[in-house]
Amino acid sequence: MPQVWNTWKTKDVSGISLASYLILTFGLGMWLAYGLMIGDLPLTVANAAMVFLTGAIVVMKFVFGRSAN
């Protein structure tokens, strides 16, 4: 959460690895799918929140990274 807020506030994405965040978001998405398949609410909620937050970082990397060029 602090990184999402800090990135939004400063619009600085220079220190963020897009590849790492894409892999992390994919992995969390797989855990989210697993949580949904087995009906585990805590697993589903936790991973849904993390997919949202890491997805926000990925989107900001594209948006703010493009405007820096």
| Other residues' Cβ atoms within 10 Å of the Cβ of residue 51 | 20
* Cβ-proximal residues to 48 (8 Å cutoff; 6+ apart), any chain: 32
Residue 68 has a pLDDT of 54
CB-CB contact of 14 with 68 (8 Å): yes
Q: Show Cβ contacts of residue 31 under 8 Å, excluding neighbours closer than 6 positions.
A: 43, 47
What one-letter code names the amino acid at 29? G
Please give the biggest Cα pair distance in the chain: 45
pLDDT tens, residue by residue, 9-61: 999 999 999 999 999 999 999 999 999 999 999 999 999 999 999 999 999 99
